[in-house]
Amino acid sequence: MALLTQDEARTLLQKVLSFSKADECQVSLNGTIGGNIRYALNSVSTSGSLNQMSLGISSVYGKRLGTTTINEYDDASLEKAVRRSENLARLAPENPEFMPFLGPQDYDTPARTYVAQTAAIDSKLRADLVQQSLQVSRDNKLAAAGFLENSANFYALMNSHGLFAYTTSTAVNFSVTLRTEDGAGSGYAARGYNDISKLDVLAASKTAAWKAARSKGAKALEPGKYTVILEPAAGIVLMENLYGNLDARNADEGRSFLSLPGGKTRLGEKLVDERINIYSDPHNEDLPTYYYNFDGQPQKKTSWIEKGVIKNLFYSRYWAKQKGVPPVPQPDGIIMDGGTAGIEDLVKSTEKGILVTRLWYIRSVDPQTLLYTGLTRDGTFYIENGEIKFPVKNFRFNESPVIMLNNLETLGKPERTISGETGSLALIPPMKIRDFTFTSLSDAV
Amino acid sequence: MAGMGMGGVLLGRVPVLGATSRPRMETPWLDTGIKRQLADVALNAARSKGATYADVRIGRYLNQFIITREDKVLNIVDTESYGMGIRVIANGSWGFAATDKLDKDNIARSAEMAVSIAKENARLQSQPVQLAPQKGYGEVSWKTPIIKNGFDIPIKEKAEMLLAVNDAAMKAGASFIDTALFLVNEQKYFASTDGSYIDQDIHRIWPTFTVTKIDSKTGKFETRDSLGSPMGTGYEYLTPDDSRKIRTVTTLYRDRYDMLEDARLAAVQAGEKLAAKSVEPGKYDLVLDPSNLYLTIHESAGHPSELDRVLGYEANFAGTSFLTLDKWKTKKFNYGSKLVNIVADRTQPGSLGAVGYDDEGVGCKEWDIIKDGVLVNYQAIRDQAHIIGLNESQGCCYSQSWQDVQFQRMANISLRPGPTPLTPNELIKNVEKGIYIVGAGSYSIDQQRYNFQFSGQLFYEIRNGKIAGMLKDVAYQANTQEFWNSCAAVCDQRDYRLGGTFFDGKGQPPQSNAVSHGSATARFNGINVINTARKI
């Protein structure tokens, strides 16, 4: 079974459009072929394969919009789905915010998001890779729980104004948690790539094993403000809540951390330390992403925070029109500049601090200050005089990424990392931060 | 629980979205005889390739959602997804394959794929899968008992209902309101080599909103979310009924929801929140309304009693549990005070988790998890039952769709009401220094379910038995065992209500489970409250 090619997708979408009687119609098709394997207690638990394709149809009469999705592709089902979206549109009240669908767009060359070798991963290779991870856990007398999944995907979009776009991608994601047999130590590693050749399951598992062994016998420290080193896997789960909230409309409407009294916003203002630069670039070789977004807008290289200043916000097509500015789509991948220091270098330069390797269960506490809570997990260590001294019990934190990035000490060398909370990808440096707020202790290991 | 803002056409695998505009003449109920034939193709193919057990789920998942804000309907979406998931045991190992191409050749190929995956994985298996016995039921069926099918209500009527809700909020002073109505219909057919052929028609509904109020002078804003619940009922949930309301300092809803009244109140209360006193941090006696307590039950009682977490199967993502088997074996582990009786129930009418049979063909039931404060049981499925000495599954197996493998998911987990007559207003009269918390807010708990932090929607200071005004910036932090041992009072059955979520997340790849949690208003003494206000 293979993904639909560009020609096959075009032919199918043209057929769907041919059934349309609406003023405007936009159709999209996404398909996935992939598999996964899951293991726990040093043994495989569930695993499976998936082959699915879903068609979305949006029909419009005037400013009335109706949307359906379906995954059956005989002519009768396709026509039924088109009629259903038209019926919904006819019954819908007018939406004054509706924007006509885009016409043909001038897209950049697609980035290298699809790697044939990744698409070719089969159940045997998945099992072989997991065997490497299990060997590490057995050699170190640890209990392994992990997950490996791969997929090949395509996304095609067409509408009655002549827009057509098609792109493909592959992904292979691996994560593992290794725990000591007595449950007193735990370590974690996660990796996510488009290209299977970049995935080193053995090395990732060894990293997790090191953390598990070293985290045993954690001591309790008083909660309070500490200098912390956030490894990229820990930093991303706070950072994604900063750059994920750069929405212009919420800011303009007064309901965002970017809002100021009198309908003003912080766009163009310095919000965080001047060493902070955050941007997106679909063509970055280490983080290639799709060259168009869900409604067909081209994705371009965009600066979001430059020298600590908010440079751009996401503008939907409707809100951009209201404000008389070009629309800015939300990006698929984020890149944060850093320095050259590795984690070891950051530890060496720390007099007293805490190394945080993973954060978990991150939830918004106050959107006005972008305050989030969550906990450390799977390897938290006390640093003194440039050395890791001992593991510490996990903490709950209450902190805002805005406050955190104003308390910046040092940025390390960025690396591709995957969020353990949302699965999003980013290039993020390790960060040394002073006065990070821990509010209570947790007994969890 | 990110229910809002998931419009657009790119639904992909977003779990609870997808649906249809009834009357669904164009998508008739798939004939049970045809489903049985398709299922038998898969079961026979799996057996012929060496499977010692196989089950098949043929699912048609229909959902509808209507998204509005202020005076606009932003989108009306119907989605429909149809396909088959095949799960097998071969060489003692699980294998799974899913397909949306339901011709006989493709079904047979998918069954073969599931068997070949199982055999590939068997070399990594330390012990063969051990399934609790399950008798075949033959051909049976079950339907959610609903009065009004939400899909049968005309789109226009539903959209106008939401716009009226929005209008009420705006007239009452809201700056913004975002509203959504979600309707879910799972049409599930299950067949297994045990001889079961089970047809089920499951319905859920979730009306919800967020009101925002902005103080233009200060630039501050506050929100107030709906106090309605997602429910396992039909559209009748949206028929206001004064006899099913509970009046305290605010208005609360049992199994009928007055969305318009709640939106109007929300606008007023969001304004009151802006002017509210910022909480003084410290120890308080908390009076928790079921609209708040359900989420605390979910996180601190529901999740830690899931047997897969206890055993370590979720260690890599959702986490493990402090309710370890050694604690259960003592039969004395003091989870909470004697008032704490927590029950698992997959049969409770109106609940999100109510079904006739679970997703591995086990008939559903009710059982105790915490009895008089002591841990007595867990939530288990067929391949776990033997580990806790059971000779049958408790019926907790669920998959969010045909394309995901089923595994152990949370049953409805609820706090039984107190045995002696007590209303929320009577309960508040006995509190000297406390906070009455209504509605669910921010929530976070560690991976073994010890340390948690919860917020809410409305916080009222209680001083000497009286409500002394509204507070803001409130969150409570506690350790699960200490929290439940501080439970000093639970109101009676008259106050019992269900809260719930469509988005109970677990597993890799992650899946959503819909689950309810019932309770009456309860009191917890001496809980640590923090102040969450910051400046940026």
Question: Could you tell me the CATH number of the domain that includes residue B205?
Answer: 3.30.2290.10
Contacts of A183 in chain B (CB under 8 A): 320
Distance from CA of A285 to the nearest CA of B (A): 26
Q: Is residue B351 part of a domain?
A: yes
Domain of residue B327, residue span: 278-531
Contacts of B450 in chain A (CB under 8 A): 442-444
Q: Would you call B265 helix, strand, or coil by DSSP?
A: helix
Nearest to B156 among A36, A91, A124 (CB): A91
Beta bridge partners of B463: B433, B466
Contacts of B325 in chain A (CB under 8 A): none
Residues B150 and B293 in one domain: no
ipTM exceeds 0.90 = yes
Residues B40 and B137 in one domain: yes
Handedness of CA B446, B447, B449, B450 (dihedral sign): negative
**Residues spanned by CATH 3.30.2290.10 within chain A?**
6-212
Q: Which two tokens stand for residue B378?
A: 């867990």
The pLDDT, as a whole number, for residue A2 is 78
Q: Which residue of B has its CA nearest to A38?
A: B508
The pLDDT, as a whole number, for residue B126 is 84
- The CA distance from A240 to B516, in Å, is 30
- The CA distance from B453 to A442, in Å, is 11
| First and final C-alpha spacing in chain B | 27
B317 vs A420: CB contact, 8 Å cut-off?
yes
Q: Which residue of A has its CA nearest to B1?
A: A363
A444 vs B451: CB contact, 8 Å cut-off?
yes
Which regions in chain B score pLDDT beneath 50?
A: 1-25
- The CA distance from A442 to B252, in Å, is 34
Nearest to B442 among A45, A364, A442 (CB): A364
A42 vs B126: CB contact, 8 Å cut-off?
yes
Burial group, residue B274, by CB count within 10 angstroms (0-12, 13-18, 19+): middle
A361 vs B444: CB contact, 8 Å cut-off?
yes
Residues B271 and B283 in one domain: no
pTM of the model: 0.95
A52 vs B315: CB contact, 8 Å cut-off?
no
A262 vs B219: CB contact, 8 Å cut-off?
yes
Q: Which residue of A has its CA nearest to B103?
A: A72
- The CA distance from A353 to A388, in Å, is 9
The pLDDT, as a whole number, for residue A277 is 98
Q: Is residue B25 part of a domain?
A: no
Nearest to B530 among A69, A364, A439 (CB): A439
Distance from CA of A149 to the nearest CA of B (A): 8
Residues B364 and B476 in one domain: yes
B403 vs A176: CB contact, 8 Å cut-off?
no
B21 vs A87: CB contact, 8 Å cut-off?
yes
Q: Is residue B446 part of a domain?
A: yes
Q: Is residue B147 part of a domain?
A: yes
A444 vs B447: CB contact, 8 Å cut-off?
yes
Residues B216 and B313 in one domain: no
A443 vs B442: CB contact, 8 Å cut-off?
no
Nearest to A127 among B120, B175, B317 (CB): B120
Contacts of A69 in chain B (CB under 8 A): 9, 11, 18, 77-81
Do A272 and A406 touch, CB atoms closer than 8 A?
Answer: yes
- The CA distance from A291 to A299, in Å, is 5
Contacts of A143 in chain B (CB under 8 A): 312, 315
Q: Which residue of B has its CA nearest to A148?
A: B508
A149 vs B99: CB contact, 8 Å cut-off?
no
The pLDDT, as a whole number, for residue A57 is 98
Burial group, residue B40, by CB count within 10 angstroms (0-12, 13-18, 19+): middle
A402 vs B221: CB contact, 8 Å cut-off?
no
Contacts of B111 in chain A (CB under 8 A): none
A374 vs B442: CB contact, 8 Å cut-off?
no
Residues B194 and B288 in one domain: no
A363 vs B443: CB contact, 8 Å cut-off?
yes
Looking only at the bridges linking them, the beta strands covering A425-428 and A334-336 are: parallel
Instruction: List the single best residue of A366, A403, A407, A438 to mutate versus B (max B Cβ within 10 A).
Output: A366
The pLDDT, as a whole number, for residue B12 is 29
What is chain A's mean pLDDT, rounded?
96
Residues B53 and B172 in one domain: yes
The count of residues in chain B is 536
Residues B163 and B60 in one domain: yes
E strands within A160-219? 164-180, 186-193
Contacts of B94 in chain A (CB under 8 A): 44-47
Domain count, chain B: 2
Q: Is residue B21 part of a domain?
A: no
Work out the average pLDDT over A31-37: 94
Nearest to B121 among A37, A361, A400 (CB): A37
Distance from CA of B65 to the nearest CA of A (A): 10
Helix (H) or strand (E) holding B104: helix B104-122
- The CA distance from B357 to B199, in Å, is 9
Q: Which residue of A has its CA nearest to B72?
A: A95
- The CA distance from B499 to B294, in Å, is 5
Fold of A6-212: PmbA/TldD fold (3.30.2290)
Could you tell me which residues come within 8 angstroms of residue B28 by beta carbon, excluding any fewer than 6 positions away? none
Distance from CA of A383 to the nearest CA of B (A): 23
Q: Which residue among B275, B291, B320 closes a domain?
A: B275
Q: Which residue among B247, B275, B303 closes a domain?
A: B275
Beta bridge partners of B432: none
Q: Is residue B16 part of a domain?
A: no
The pLDDT, as a whole number, for residue B30 is 84
Nearest to B444 among A127, A146, A373 (CB): A373
pLDDT at A19 over 70: yes
The count of residues in chain A is 445
B446 vs A54: CB contact, 8 Å cut-off?
no
Helix (H) or strand (E) holding A143: strand A142-159
At which residue do the structure tokens 């994604």 appear? A240
Do B85 and B117 touch, CB atoms closer than 8 A?
Answer: no
Residues B166 and B225 in one domain: yes
Instruction: List the single best residue of B105, B123, B124 to mutate versus A (max A Cβ within 10 A).
Output: B124
Do B298 and B351 touch, CB atoms closer than 8 A?
Answer: no
B216 vs A261: CB contact, 8 Å cut-off?
yes
Q: Which residue among B275, B310, B336 closes a domain?
A: B275
Q: Is residue B315 part of a domain?
A: yes
Nearest to B315 among A44, A177, A365 (CB): A177
Q: Which two tokens stand for residue B477?
A: 């932090």
Residues B352 and B368 in one domain: yes
Contacts of B159 in chain A (CB under 8 A): 91-93
Contacts of A151 in chain B (CB under 8 A): none
Under DSSP, the state recorded for B298 is I
Distance from CA of B414 to the nearest CA of A (A): 23
Total beta-carbon pairs less than 8 A apart between chain A and chain B: 301
Contacts of A130 in chain B (CB under 8 A): 124
Residues B522 and B507 in one domain: yes
The pLDDT, as a whole number, for residue A254 is 96
A53 vs B214: CB contact, 8 Å cut-off?
no
A67 vs B12: CB contact, 8 Å cut-off?
no
Residues B245 and B283 in one domain: no
ω before A326 within 30° of 0 (cis)? Answer: no
Nearest to A66 among B76, B123, B509 (CB): B76
Under DSSP, the state recorded for B205 is E
